[in-house]
Amino acid sequence: MRNQTLLLVLSLMFFSLQAQEHSHMGAQPLSYPDVDGYKTLKVDLHMHTVFSDGNVWPTIRVHEALRENLDAISLTEHLEYQPHAEDIPHPDRNRSYELVTAMKEAEEHGLLIVHGSEITRSAPIGHNNAVFIEDANKLVQEKAEKAFSEAKKQKAFVFWNHPAWYAQMPQGNPVLSDFQKERIKNDELHGIEVINTGDYAEESLALALENNLTIMGTSDIHGLIDWDYTEKGHHRPITLVFAKEKSKESLQEALFEGRTVAVYNDLLVGREPYLTPLLKASIEISGVKYIDKTQILEVELTNVSSSDLLFENQMNYTFYSSSPVFEIKAGETKKLMIKTLEAKQNITLKLKALGCYIAPKVHPIIEWNLNVR
């Protein structure tokens, strides 16, 4: 009996240690501040389920989004690629959308479900998401041109997925073909993924700026968010959309107008009019005062966003006891000590946001006007 008890105790200890070794923190709620005149909506408009080539039931996508505090999602199933069709036959391409819109959890928590699908063709057409559609079945067309034309009839917002994907672009660089040029000209292509899964393509950012395409960031998730992102210490890539209110209509309007920033962990990519105000709002400043009997100004900076932010000093003034390059982790506070050489009543704090891009290899510079106590 004693041996059996000892064996049981050892077994429990073994499984307890295993559980500790394999435990991990779950995905955390994402938070980004609103900017003047707009609500900042956190969205992921490129995801898959078993109704195309994903590995999960559609309802899982809603639970993941609620856990991460997203504002809107779209299940963009491949129209032409249906590898699970023998096991899950569904001639109605709207099926996954219908399943999630019926979920009370989404409605109760205010999660917006955007109807979308993915038009899937080989290069140079590539993969393209059409969101805010009315009927996915009508997008199933033999010719890609007709699929895009139908999406336009449904007032869809269409964006080019992973244009630098090496499986279609072996060099890893996106090429704007005559097909894309014609779609842009016909108002049938409106955005481009600059961040897809873990890939940031600055060539795609260049195309967005050159062709007035909306900058997008998406997870393109097929498995579980936990497997592909959380267990690796990452947040999923998302698009921050600056909308007039939290509604599908306002979200759609903002996407067509290009008011977005793509985000992946500490990487933020967007046009200067939207990225700069976001970064400025992400840092709350307090405690602006001189250390007693010195000309060293003490300033506290708190990062209220979910991204770790890296800055470089751009002032003529230098820092005391600090590198000119410093990081403020998400939710944490950094105390700067600025050598102003003489007492000032006000000062402009000027920092370059490293890891953030308003154009290829171009970082935004953020300014805060500080009144000294």
196-212 confidence digits (pLDDT tens): 999 999 999 999 999 99
> Same structural domain for residues 111 and 234?
yes
| 247 and 313 fall within a common domain | no
Q: 45 and 90 share a domain?
A: yes
Domain residue limits at 292: 280-371
Do 149 and 238 share a domain, yes or no? yes
Q: Kindly state whether residue 195 falls inside one of the protein's structural domains.
A: yes
What is the pLDDT averaged over residues 229-245?
97
**Residues 225 and 162 reside in one and the same domain:** yes
Distances in Å between the Cα of 110 and the Cα atoms of 70, 164, 235, 335 are 9, 34, 21, 37
- Domains contained in the chain, number: 2
**Residue 292, in any domain of the structure:** yes
**Which pLDDT score, from 0 to 100, does residue 166 have?**
84
Q: What count of other Cβ atoms lies within 10 Å of the Cβ of residue 238?
A: 28
**Burial class of residue 108 in the structure, from the number of CB atoms within 10 Å of its CB (0-12 exposed, 13-18 middle, 19+ buried):** exposed
Helix (H) or strand (E) holding 209: helix 202-211
Q: Are residues 31 and 110 located together in one domain of the fold?
A: yes
Mode of pairing for the β-strands spanning 346-354 and 309-313: antiparallel
* Mean pLDDT across 334-356: 96
Verify that 208 and 288 share a domain, yes or no.
no
For residues 352 and 364, give the distance between their C-alpha atoms in angstroms, rounded to a whole number. Answer: 6
- 299 and 250, same structural domain? no
| Same domain? 43 vs 105 | yes
CATH of the domain at 316: 2.60.40.10
Q: Count of residues for the chain? A: 373
What angle is formed at CA 96 by the lines to CA 184 and CA 196, rounded to 5 degrees? 45
Asked whether the predicted pLDDT for residue 40 surpasses 50, the reply is yes
Of 265, 297, 317, which residue sits at a domain end? 265
| SS3 of residue 86 by DSSP | coil
Measure CA of the first residue to CA of the last residue in the chain; give whole Å.
Answer: 74
Same domain, 240 and 102: yes
What is the mean predicted confidence (pLDDT) over 8-28?
45
Residue 96 has pLDDT above 80, yes or no: yes
Residue 148 in any domain: the answer is yes
The reported pTM is: 0.92
Residue 347's pLDDT is 96
Quick one: pLDDT band at residue 26, thresholds 50, 70, 90? Answer: low
- Say how many C-beta atoms besides its own lie within 10 A of residue 86's C-beta: 7
